Structure 1
């Protein structure tokens, strides 16, 4: 039996969504002047616009792109892009984990796109993105939240290509640089990398995306929550803080607090650096631990946010499939009960695994303290 580790993480929050709050977070620190007010009031719209403007500034979004707040988290923002823009030309939906597969199901079963190519890969791998025709519209997930696999680069997207590029970046923004020149619709949610409250998504549109929306009317009916046009033009008020439906101003203030914190550190580069340093701690540990393997084989495709890893070795291999599936669940549950680490079991549709969030709101010391506890819990299973 191994010795119980001496130190627990001070902030045992390792969920991949909602992710850890910013260090030092306190509800008492939230700005409250907009609370209890209409989101259509001057103060309400001003705070929503401020959240939009801070997002643009910190992410380095080009001036001629639109940034808007959408209902329904990243899912709502991404589906709004798909439902309003796809169908005008051939499309490819690429997926390598569970959420990308949801977009495939949307394209196949809901939109029933007539000229559709599905490109997928197993967990931990990336399909051959270079095979996608440049004339095609394409939907892809920059960073696989449930597999830990990210794209290496955007070389597979040509400059000035004809197709629209729809990018689900919800576990990538504020951790990896976006190649805005090649992206037409980019989406994310507040509750991922910035650790803010859930249910609100961001939609960032290029001029080409705006032109597609204004020139194209899909053949299927659009729910109100996806409608971004006023007459034949895009409703620019949505991108100035006049949201499609009622947002939570309390959640807005929480997001603003996280953005201001990131800005105080030095902006997105500081967030990139924090995520890189955090992920290095975990990936180096995985490499040095013979009974673990990173779910992603190619080091260049390994994320710096939700690091996913699986078990291996003589003991694990001797177990039945049912017993193997129970290993990560048992470890995660045990450390949850001990207040060592919360919510870091692998995603339910992924292979049996653990997934540790390493985004910029997590502190390095908390990660260093968590890892010996995983070793201890695994040893306890074998005792």
Structure 2
């Protein structure tokens, strides 16, 4: 009998098993057609049905208002680091960036190529949470305010939507926690995220943008990143990532069947609490530098060993976990330690297996 495997990769991440089974069948013949789903023309009626169904389930699950466009784009989250300023910076030539981790920092660096970037927070050598609103410096004349809702590297997550000056659009990278909890889309000018963590496989980026923000891109904006062009052509200006779009649609259909984003939120809370409780009750053997009020529900980052972590012990932890079928737990190289990514496709049973391993490892290795 094959070993049970639980895959905690930060991305590309686990896809629900029943979705994979369906996709496997469609790789040869898609719904009675003589061709693979990967071979369908993006101009065909069959693919038209796929992209329409994908947009429909996105709108249904998140309650997307009618004055927002749903775009399915190339380039991943990193592509949107450039697309956002290229499309929105022209309003005033400057933008506010709330930098709370590695990804928002990279986004700010990219945006600085196209306008003036104001870092809302004081510069930090180590990202351990979302600083109190009292220390923020927001510009009421900014073209937009940008933040990353969940920093996968550091394990920092916003627990509420930031308040911004009236009339300034709020832009959010939700790549790693898209569809893990309800979102009031009307509070945002733009939301985006790569699919490869919670909603599909690598290759497509889901952008939800308010219609009034897609009219005036910078002249240097490449056509493939131009929201105006993509909206006008319903994401079909050029050949889109057809198979990843189909996978996204099927994964979101699975989310709907499982109970929607409210149920995903309930599971996220249950799964993350299971791990954080062990960390907090380990008397320092496991530790987290993230402020409890900013701890991520989907990327649980912690160290192993007293005094803030022991690299030799952490290597042992990862090796033994791998032998037990608990895969991809090594932390990001920039912060070290352990990272358990608890995305939607990770089951409560998967996390229970990890929790039991952590308890056993603690008993066998504590000083």
CA shift for structure 1 position 172: 1.9
The one of 347, 361, 371 aligned to 2:332: 347
Shift of the 374–115 alpha-carbon distance from structure 1 to 2, 3 Å rule, reads closer
User: What aligned pairs does 1:117-132 form with structure 2 within 5 A after superposition?
Assistant: 117=119, 119=121, 120-121=123-124, 122-129=126-133, 130-132=136-138
Q: Does 1:53 align with 2:56?
A: yes
Give, in whole Å, the separation in 2 of the partners of 1:345 and 1:150. Answer: 20
Q: Does 1:65 align with 2:68?
A: yes
What's 1:91 paired with? 95
What's 1:41 paired with? 44
- 2:207 is paired with a residue whose SS is strand
Q: Does 1:237 align with 2:233?
A: yes
Q: CA RMSD in A?
A: 2.7
Give, in whole Å, the separation in 1 of the partners of 2:145 and 2:90. Answer: 11
The one of 236, 247, 253 aligned to 1:260: 253
What's 2:34 paired with? none
Give, in whole Å, the separation in 2 of the partners of 1:78 and 1:67. Answer: 18
Q: Deviations over 1:237-268 (max 9, x none)?
A: 23xx42x4423433233222211111112211
Shift of the 78–179 alpha-carbon distance from structure 1 to 2, 3 Å rule, reads farther
- Provide runs of 4+ in structure 1 moved above 6 Å: 378-383
CA shift for structure 1 position 70: 0.6
Contact 1:70–1:76 (CA under 8 A) maintained in structure 2: no
Shift of the 94–327 alpha-carbon distance from structure 1 to 2, 3 Å rule, reads farther
Shift of the 256–66 alpha-carbon distance from structure 1 to 2, 3 Å rule, reads same
The one of 318, 321, 334 aligned to 1:332: 318
Q: Does 1:309 align with 2:302?
A: yes
Q: Deviations over 1:193-252 (max 9, x none)?
A: 23x211110110013423xxx1x3425x2223212335xxx74323xx42x442343323
The one of 239, 242, 252 aligned to 1:246: 239
CA shift for structure 1 position 356: 0.8
Report the TM-score, using the length of structure 2 for normalisation: 0.85
Contact 1:154–1:179 (CA under 8 A) maintained in structure 2: no
What's 2:6 paired with? 12
What's 1:150 paired with? 157
Q: Does 1:276 align with 2:269?
A: yes
Contact 1:78–1:187 (CA under 8 A) maintained in structure 2: no
- 1:198 is paired with a residue whose SS is coil
Report the TM-score, using the length of structure 1 for normalisation: 0.82
Give, in whole Å, the separation in 1 of the partners of 2:365 and 2:359. Answer: 10
Contact 2:67–2:211 (CA under 8 A) maintained in structure 1: yes
Shift of the 327–187 alpha-carbon distance from structure 1 to 2, 3 Å rule, reads farther
Shift of the 118–133 alpha-carbon distance from structure 1 to 2, 3 Å rule, reads closer
Q: Does 1:224 align with 2:223?
A: yes
Aligned residues: 350
Contact 1:328–1:353 (CA under 8 A) maintained in structure 2: yes
Shift of the 100–114 alpha-carbon distance from structure 1 to 2, 3 Å rule, reads closer
What's 1:370 paired with? 354
Give, in whole Å, the separation in 2 of the partners of 1:46 and 1:102. Answer: 36
The one of 20, 27, 33 aligned to 1:26: 20
Give, in whole Å, the separation in 1 of the partners of 2:184 and 2:355. Answer: 34
